[in-house]
Amino acid sequence: MALPKSMRLLAAVTLCIFFYMVLQIYKAPAAIERPSSGKIKEWTRDPQLDPSGEPPEPLRRVEGDNYEPNNPNSARINATLLALVRNEELEDMLQSMRDLERTWNHKFNYPWTFFNDKEFTEEFKKRTRAVTKAEIRYEIVPKEHWEIPSWINMDLFQESVAVLTEQDVQYMSKISYHQMCRWNSGLFFKHPALANTRYYWRVEPKVHFFCDVDYDVFRWMQDHNKTYGFNINIYDSPQSVTTLWPETRKFIADHAHYLSPNNAIEWLQDKEQRPGHNAKANGYSTCHFWSNFEIGDMEFWRSRAYQEYFDHLDRAGGFFYERWGDAPVHSIALGLFADKSKIHWFRDIGYQHIPFFNCPNNPKCSGCVTGRFTDGEAWLNQEDCRPLWFKYASKD
């Protein structure tokens, strides 16, 4: 028996309302979608704006004469401040030395080791000796560590220079820059002058240090079992490292056993924050520890894993055919082969290498603006990739 007309109408309307509501429920997520990738910020406020102090105890301090320069039983460990530098950069090197001596090394008196591909001048030696009580060594880089390797085809190099200069790769045509990056990547720690040295602090000419540091930084690395300390984390120009990640993947395919069980491969492969960089660098985020500042344990670079990785990269030729920097090479190796909990952010060491800063909120600092990342153009703030490191690793 058919329903009355009014009942049929009511049923039809109810059905329509039901379908309409189901439709709304399924449509709902679209309205609360996250902003498109690339615009997601991992933080809205730089953590350096928050007050911070020293890293955790134990911290070794000056007591009596325990760090005096000539004390044969000093508390210093096997470590050195280290700089590759040219004679022409003397004034800029003195600037860096004065800052680091004032804020830290006049207390701890760690030796300086200067490296150069040429003989240091007497003036360089005299004037650098005048700004520290600590011992200084002046070393020449062995020819076989500096020369362009025999397997590099110079015609191909020149062609690559033309192509990548066109793509705005900085320093592409400067052969010595390629040699410097290669040496810093895989050879510095093989220098005979460092044979008995385990920890190093890399210092470049023309950098600034802003904060008093009152503990033995090298001893801290050792006591806390740290492999590497960084200060600034930035994106690289992807055109300079196009095949670095693909070559790395080839290496990993044959050497998976070298990967650390607690690695930071997600940090290396992030494509959320700057998808364009990841795409151009063929899977590498390009985020790296800025290696003009490094405090490290050379055992890591001297490990079999790293040596084999460096040899693989060296044979592939990208130190010349592209412009692989020591910063991405070191960072990728650390991200893969090191335990990420052994990598430390030295937030307390106020620092500047043009155009970036690390400036903590700490009464021990002066001469920099708290929390400021750059004093260059505003777009440079985008180059800060610390949010990625903090997301995939930690702020420790």
Residue type, 278: N
Which region, judged by CB under 6 A, interacts with ligand GDP, from 31-39, 78-86, 157-165, 307-315?
78-86
Strand 199-202 and strand 294-297: the pairing is antiparallel
Question: How far is Cα 37 from Cα 24, in angstroms, rounded to an integer?
Answer: 25
Instruction: Give the three-state DSSP class for 344.
Output: strand
User: From the CB of 327, what's the least distance to ligand GDP, in Å?
Assistant: 8
Write down the least CB distance from residue 234 to ligand GDP, Å. Answer: 12
The least CB distance from residue 214 to ligand GDP, in Å, is 27
Q: Which stretch binds ligand GDP (CB under 6 A): 11-19, 36-44, 172-180, 262-270?
A: 172-180
| Sequence-separated (6 or more) residues with CB below 8 Å from residue 5 | none
Beta strand pairing call for 79-84 and 112-116: parallel
Helix (H, G, I), strand (E, B) or coil at 200: strand
Cα end-to-end span (Å), the chain: 78
The footprint of ligand GDP on this chain (CB under 6 A) covers a number of residues equal to: 13
Closer CB to ligand GDP, 202 or 226, in the complex = 202
Q: Which of 89, 101, 247, 294 is catalytic?
A: 294
89 near ligand GDP, judged by CB under 6 A? yes
Q: Which is nearer to ligand GDP, 67 or 189 (CB)?
A: 189
Whole-angstrom Cα distance, residue 163 to residue 322?
10
Q: Which does 84 bind (CB under 5 to 8 A by kind): ligand GDP, Mn ion, none?
A: ligand GDP
* DSSP-derived secondary structure letter, 33: P
Ranges within 199-258 binding Mn ion (CB under 5 A): 204
Check binding of 180 to ligand GDP (CB under 6 A): yes
Of 279-308, which residues contact ligand GDP (CB under 6 A)?
292
Contact between 287 and 235 (Cβ < 8 Å): yes
42 noted as active-site residue:
no
Coil, strand or helix at 295: strand
Residue of 77, 74, 72 lying closest to 64 (CA atoms): 74
Q: Tell me: does residue 92 bind Mn ion (CB under 5 A).
A: no
Is residue 204 a contact point for ligand GDP (CB under 6 A)?
yes
Nearest-CB residue for ligand GDP: 176
Considering only residues 291 through 310, tell me which ones interact with Mn ion, judged by CB under 5 A: 292
Q: Does 116 bind ligand GDP (CB under 6 A)?
A: yes
Using CB distances below 5 to 8 A depending on partner kind, what does residue 352 bind out of Mn ion, ligand GDP, none?
A: none
Element (H, E) at 291: none
Toward Mn ion, which CB reaches closer, 309 or 319?
Answer: 319
Residue 139 contacts ligand GDP per CB under 6 A: no
Helix residue ranges, H only, the chain: 5-31, 90-100, 106-108, 122-129, 143-146, 154-166, 175-186, 217-223, 244-254, 265-269, 275-280, 298-301, 304-316, 318-321, 326-337, 386-392
> Whose Cβ is closer to ligand GDP: residue 78's or residue 176's?
176
C-alpha–C-alpha distance, residues 218 and 325, integer Å? 25
| Minimum gap (Å) between residue 91 Cβ and ligand GDP | 12
Which one, 65 or 119, has the nearer CB to ligand GDP?
A: 119
Which residues does the annotation mark as catalytic?
294
Q: For binding to ligand GDP (CB under 6 A), which residues are involved? A: 83-86, 89, 116-117, 176-177, 180, 204-205, 292
Q: For binding to Mn ion (CB under 5 A), which residues are involved? A: 204, 292
